[in-house]
Amino acid sequence: MKNVVLIGFMGTGKSSVGRLLAMRLGCAFHDLDKKIEETCGISIPQMFAQHGEPYFRAREKEAVRAAAARSGLVIATGGGTVKDAENVALLRSSGILVALTADVDTILCRTAARGARPVLDGADAGDRRAAVVRLLEERRALYEGADIAVDTSCRSPLEVAEYIVQATRIWRK
């Protein structure tokens, strides 16, 4: 079975939808960020603080290679994983890319907790909105390259997972 690869901006529901989708499909859930933290023994915010973003992106590339070499997974990527064309090519070669999207207000609400989102954590409320808008615009074309897109703004994770099950049925064989 091909992998189902969830891409999208932070706060669009990749992890929560991914867990439910994996259960629904009867396959393993593979959260790239969690795998990176397990391998490195520190959290991603700590990685950014201690080693910088380039170090994290190198670990991310390693995690993508390992996940793409497997099959039958639901893979939740980090929001910036798609910034690297090689990552996208590897993930596409092993599965179906599903972009999860959400409007700016939904993203701000879902990412309000400090400490978990290194790219946004330094900003105050107005700056966070501006940062989200800017990053969404920068990555829009990358997310639009997915095979399927699902707006999660007004849907529960279970509704999104069920939609993906139906939408990917012919591709997963």
Binding site listing for ATP = 11-16, 117, 155
Binding site as annotated, residues for Mg(2+): 15
What angle separates helix 32-40 from helix 44-51, to the nearest 10 degrees?
Answer: 60
Closest of 6, 2, 1 to residue 17, by C-alpha: 6
- On whether the CB atoms of residues 15 and 76 are closer than 8 A, the answer is yes
For residues 169 and 98, give the distance between their C-alpha atoms in angstroms, rounded to a whole number.
13
Binding site as annotated, residues: 11-16, 33, 57, 79, 117, 139, 155
Residue type at 35 in one-letter notation: K
- On whether the CB atoms of residues 20 and 157 are closer than 8 A, the answer is yes
In order of 32, 49, 81, 82, 84, the CA distances from 54 in angstroms are 16, 11, 12, 15, 12
Alpha helices in 10-146 (DSSP H): 14-25, 32-40, 44-51, 53-68, 85-94, 104-110, 125-144
Binding site as annotated, residues for substrate: 33, 57, 79, 139
